[in-house]
C-alpha cells in the first residue's frame, strides 16, 4: 500500500481559529498514526482576500500546536500556470464559456425569472441562487466582439454538458456526519459554477483538485462546509483525469452564538487563546481530542520539492 498523504489547506485571509485547529490536528494525527505524510498548503489565489502576513501567522500557530509538517509549503499563488493548464484542458473539451454578467445583472435576471414564474429561484447546496445562464444566450459574434474588446469576464462551466461527459460519480466518505461509505456526487446541483474569476486566474475548485493530485494527496480531511463542494471536485477530477482522494468531512466548530466561526470576525482565534494563556493541550481538550499520538514530535520531516 502506498503511504497516505494528508494535507491542511488554509486560506490566508485571517488568523486560524478552533475550526482550523480541528482540521489541522485531525490531518496531522491521522498522518502520524498511519505512518503517512502531512502537508500544509497555502490557498492564496484569491488576491483580494489573501494577505501575506497571515501566512507567517498561520505557520506560527501550527508550530505552536506542535503540528510538524513537511517543507517547503506549497503556495498556490506561485503555481498559477498549473491551474491555467487545467482550465485549458476543460476549454479544449468545450466545457467553458465566458461570463460577462455582473453580480447586479445576475441578481436582476434571477428576480425577473422569479417574478415571471411565480416560484422561488433554485438554490445551490450552500443556499445561493443558481446562476441563471444569461451569458449562454449571447450569440458567438457578440461574445467574440466583447472578448476582443478586452471586457472583463469570468469562465463558467457548462454543467449540463460536463456532468453528461463525466457520467455518474461518487466518492469515498469516512465522514463524521454522513455514514461512512460511497456518496453519490451531484454536480448539477451547483449549476454553471465559475472556474476562473474576473479577478483571479482560477477558482478554488480548480486549484484544489489540481494540487491534491500534484501533491499525491490520498486523504482529504476538512470541514463539513465543503461536503457538497466535493461533487464539483469529483466532476473536475474525472474530466481532468485526476485520481480521487478519500474524503472525511468533520463537524464544524461553532461559536457561542451557535454560528460557524469565521476568520474575519476573529472569533476564538488560536492567537487569542494563546495570548490568554491556553496551551496546545487545552486546545485539544476544547475540541474533544486526545493527546497527540506517540511519535508525533519525533518524526523526521522530509524535504520535498513543492
Q: β-strand 37-42 against 154-157: which pairing, if any?
A: unpaired
Rounded to whole angstroms, what are the CA distances from 147 to 78, 141, 251? 27, 10, 43
Q: Which of 15, 29, 43, 70 binds ligand GLU (CB under 6 A)?
A: 43
* Per CB under 6 A, 252 contacts ligand GLU: no
Check if the beta carbon of residue 193 is closer than 8 Å to that of residue 238. no
Shortest distance, CB of residue 105 to ligand GLU, whole angstroms? 28
Shortest distance, CB of residue 282 to ligand GLU, whole angstroms? 23
| Minimum CB distance to ligand GLU smaller for 10 or for 132 | 10
* Per CB under 6 A, 25 contacts ligand GLU: no
Number of residues counted as binding ligand GLU (CB under 6 A) = 7
Q: Which of 4, 5, 6, 11 binds ligand GLU (CB under 6 A)?
A: 11
* Per CB under 6 A, 226 contacts ligand GLU: yes
* Per CB under 6 A, 12 contacts ligand GLU: no
* Per CB under 6 A, 253 contacts ligand GLU: no
Residues marked as catalytic: 263
**Contacts by 229-232 with C-beta closer than 8 Å and gap 24+?**
229/125, 229/190, 229/205, 230/171, 230/183, 230/185, 231/125, 231/169, 231/185, 231/186, 231/187, 231/189, 231/190, 232/187, 232/190, 232/193, 232/205
| Minimum CB distance to ligand GLU smaller for 14 or for 133 | 14
Scan residues 172-211 and list those touching ligand GLU (CB under 6 A).
208
* Per CB under 6 A, 10 contacts ligand GLU: yes
Shortest distance, CB of residue 249 to ligand GLU, whole angstroms? 10
* Per CB under 6 A, 70 contacts ligand GLU: no
Q: Is the peptide bond before 301 cis (omega within 30 degrees of 0)?
A: no
Q: β-strand 219-223 against 246-250: which pairing, if any?
A: parallel
CA atoms within 13 A on the CB side of 137: 6
Residue 108: strand, helix, or coil: helix
d(CA 186, CA 298): 42
Stretch that binds ligand GLU, among 4-12, 44-52, 272-280, 281-289 (CB under 6 A): 4-12
Q: Residues in the site for ligand GLU, rule: CB under 6 A?
A: 9-11, 43, 208, 222, 226
Amino acid at each position: 500500500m502506498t503511504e497516505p498523504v494528508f494535507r491542511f489547506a488554509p486560506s490566508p485571509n485571517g488568523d486560524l481559529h478552533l475550526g482550523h485547529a480541528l482540521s489541522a490536528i485531525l490531518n496531522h494525527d491521522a498522518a502520524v498514526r498511519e505512518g503517512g505524510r502531512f502537508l500544509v498548503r497555502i490557498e492564496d489565489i484569491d488576491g483580494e482576500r489573501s494577505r501575506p502576513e497571515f501566512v507567517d501567522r498561520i505557520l506560527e500557530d501550527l508550530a505552536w500546536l506542535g503540528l510538524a509538517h513537511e517543507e517547503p509549503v506549497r503556495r498556490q499563488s506561485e503555481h498559477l500556470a498549473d491551474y491555467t493548464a487545467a482550465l485549458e484542458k476543460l476549454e479544449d473539451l468545450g466545457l467553458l464559456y465566458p461570463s460577462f454578467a455582473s453580480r447586479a445583472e445576475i441578481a436582476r435576471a434571477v428576480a425577473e425569472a422569479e417574478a415571471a414564474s411565480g416560484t422561488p429561484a433554485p438554490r445551490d447546496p450552500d443556499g445561493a441562487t443558481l446562476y441563471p445562464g444569461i451569458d449562454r444566450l449571447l450569440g458567438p459574434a457578440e461574445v467574440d466582439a466583447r472578448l476582443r474588446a478586452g471586457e472583463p469576464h469570468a469562465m463558467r462551466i457548462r454543467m449540463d454538458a460536463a456532468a453528461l461527459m463525466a457520467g455518474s460519480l461518487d466518492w469515498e466518505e469516512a465522514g463524521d456526519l454522513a455514514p461512512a461509505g460511497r456518496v453519490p456526487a451531484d454536480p448539477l446541483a451547483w449549476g454553471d459554477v465559475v472556474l476562473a474569476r474576473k479577478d483571479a486566474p482560477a477558482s478554488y475548485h480548480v486549484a484544489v483538485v489540481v494540487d491534491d493530485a500534484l501533491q499525491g494527496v490520498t486523504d482529504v480531511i476538512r470541514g463539513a462546509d465543503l461536503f457538497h463542494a466535493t461533487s464539483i471536485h469529483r466532476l473536475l477530477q474525472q474530466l481532468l483525469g485526476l485520481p480521487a482522494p478519500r474524503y472525511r468531512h468533520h463537524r464544524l466548530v461553532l461559536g457561542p452564538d451557535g454560528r460557524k466561526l469565521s476568520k474575519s470576525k476573529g472569533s476564538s482565534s488560536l492567537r487569542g487563546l494563546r495570548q490568554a494563556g491556553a496551551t496546545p493541550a487545552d486546545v485539544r481538550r476544547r475540541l474533544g481530542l486526545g493527546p497527540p499520538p506517540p511519535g508525533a514530535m519525533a518524526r523526521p520531516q522530509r524535504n520535498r520539492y513543492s
